[in-house]
Chains A and B, each alone.
Chain A
């Protein structure tokens, strides 16, 4: 990939006196160390394998020199525990950080808009009928609805503490998808990413333990969260998404968002309401995407098609839809997205990588 590799000598690399004056070893020490330094170098190389290949090709050899020099200065023959953990942690962080850097800018921008918009639309669509999410978050307590303000008719006859607990639970439920967005807007994209990943793992676990796993709402929600995690990982997140949204886009999206909200208000027949809300959400997305630059709009549409696809299948086959088919649709679209984004990534990276190194 990069032409930065320098000649790699394995022998006696460790006695680098370097800039530190503490790195002085006697001749005896050096003689006995040369065998040990090869082993030490091997250990450090193994630790550097935690870094992504791009980072290694740029800094690998240089870091090895620094690590060996520091080890020599310490007079130690093996990597320290804290040093090793630091390398592993930094390597993993670099891996997460570089997931987005190979992606072409149009994809990253589409992901940024998605990371901002998708959770907002979910909350707008389900705030009046949050049962499936309530169940996914709280387990059985959510489905029985004991203290859910919206599921219990005689809720208002309960003692005040129960009512307050119910409201708190309700607010946490509908606000939970928004947490990563709020964190992202505050400049805490990585914390937002962690929150989204925890939310995804938890709801997926809860769903897999119950029949909820077959519900289209659940499939769509899990797919939406999974794409959200990728979006937060690979793009600059909601802050960038907010900058990309134009007034024109917001003006067109606003009435549709309002429609999604009012669709959520019609409480009769929760099943139908959910579909109505979702289809309006799809319209809002299409309208907003149309106002973005066309390359980004197409990508955004493909991204949103992933969580929406289970409902499309439900429309085609209302009653005879197995859970597997519902999961197949978003999985297939994810693969298509991955394939398309990989293909567009190959072009710039041929020249882009070397340019960054120098």
Chain B
């Protein structure tokens, strides 16, 4: 799963949101690192909708313009959960190995700054 897809599903895990809401939420989840453009967002939404990961929750007319709210479906939640588990497992292994690496380098490479092995 690509990161924008992961972030869109994560945004919708908080509850139904409309397009612009997803855009701002994705920016805040990723601490401003990922800024979705409208084209990318709607390509992803169209694909996620057609494979059943998300669905239209409701439609509103705001200032004469259609605003559609999307929600995560149970299959979408399952996919997001599996991806989150995978990322977590990877992160755990990385953290564990880094800890070991730090442990090995302490006796050989001299002193390590305080808190460096944490």
Contact = CB atoms under 8 A, between A and B. Distances in A.
Interface string B19-31: 1110110000000
Contact of A9 (B23, B43, B64): B64
Chain A contact residues: over half helix, strand or loop, or mixed?
A: helix
A16 interface: yes
B40 A64 contact: no
B62 A16 contact: yes
B68 A13 contact: no
A55 interface: yes
A87 B37 CA distance: 8
A63 interface: yes
Interface in B98-118: none
B32 to A, nearest CB: 12
A69 B20 contact: yes
A325 to B, nearest CB: 44
Given A20-B24, A86-B40, A59 B65 contact: no
B66 interface: yes
Interface stretch (A88-96, A130-138, A266-274, A346-354): A88-96
B65 A64 contact: yes
A19 interface: yes
Interface residues of A, number: 36
Contacts of B46: 55, 58-59, 94
Contacts, number: 86
B89 interface: no
Interface in B19-56: 19-21, 23-24, 37-43, 45-46, 50, 56
A65 interface: yes
Given A69-B20, A70-B23, A86 B39 contact: yes
A93 B39 CA distance: 10
A7 B43 contact: no
Nearest to A68: B65
A28 interface: no
A66 B39 contact: no
A4 B38 CA distance: 20
B36 to A, nearest CB: 9
Contacts of B38: 63, 66-67, 70, 83, 86-87
Contacts of B45: 59
Interface string A111-130: 00000000000000000000
6 closest A-B pairs by CB: A90-B39, A9-B64, A86-B39, A19-B21, A86-B37, A6-B66
Interface of A: 4, 6-9, 12-13, 15-16, 18-20, 55, 58-59, 61-67, 69-70, 82-83, 86-91, 93-94, 356, 358
Given A9-B63, A15-B63, A55-B46, 5 more contacts: A16-B62, A19-B21, A93-B43, A94-B46, A356-B50
